[in-house]
Structure 1
């Protein structure tokens, strides 16, 4: 019967890529470590030889890692790397004049969870320029811009719809 347990141990060695110090007797204990990319389940420190085989049954398990996070439209990933550990977060940055909504994404069970996107400030505030035939507006210092709400939205009244550009900054009103 000791031979069966030893044979079973070697099967574990091949399948789970572990290194064990063999203990051949019933109730014998063996210290072991898992190879790179694998980990012991639930922080187990030793394997025990039982009548039914080695316990824990699964000596080493593949780590739940994520591949690089998905790209997002109008945004970039900060410090991308080839693999991410369980619970690790991927952070994104948005360009000037865009606002981040949601984020960061989190690596959970080998999948990315969460939601993140970069949206144009005016889209976020449901605004249009009064002169909506202009796709982009470049305003000079001290010049004024007038906004209006997108169809079906109403001005919340906190910031006036006519704003002055001061040193490249314009306060944006909000429509809800």
Structure 2
């Protein structure tokens, strides 16, 4: 600290001390500045000014207005559906207090289980996502079976997916895999197999049908696709014949091909590997390093992800 700065601190301290002696100290607060007749004060942590004013004047009759610092309280923590507070609950809450929630069994927690009193409000509370309950009666009404071919009441947690099958003499109308979303699950409908037949199923680039292709398929028939090596399948592997039309087929996402030529032009190598050519599947990560005598560029990311045949190469200089 400079001599000038040190002197300013001494002056402020002297003024504060004089004011405290003349008008009395500010309980649960402190003086932070004085400009002519105006004195600025600040309440201690966990307290706030009763009237929201942080300026006062010291006169021969004392402080005017009188600075009063009161405890800064938070409202009661919010009530959350399908949850209860398991720790930190009390009659009154102050800044810094923490409460913890717990979802009821079968519910899924979204967000932080703990919230903190921050000033006069709480940090954002979590949400408890409801599970889906599928009854035996619902399955019978919809003519549905579970993936094991049986019917029973089941509980599916939110964001979980369940596979359904249709009973005898019926075919599943897509969607085939159904996800539970916060207590809601739209069950598929099974329909009788009396619709129009389909011709040969569509072909997909860089992929094949796993079974022998026929000239004609009955309503409700299905075919399953697979991708070539290093290609990643996106979408449902199965396509159904529905009233003469095949349902949406999957896509085979292209891998990334990393060559020495590509790396040499950017002064990089694969970290820990020395292959002449490397295939990286869509969605996979790969890490590079700079070649000897070259240095990384701070704006580059050297651990990158393959995206449908495209990879963002880093550069070394």
TM-score for both structures, normalised by structure 1: 0.47
Going by fraction, where is strand more abundant, 1 or 2? 2
* Bigger relative CO (Cα 8 Å, ≥ 6 apart): 1
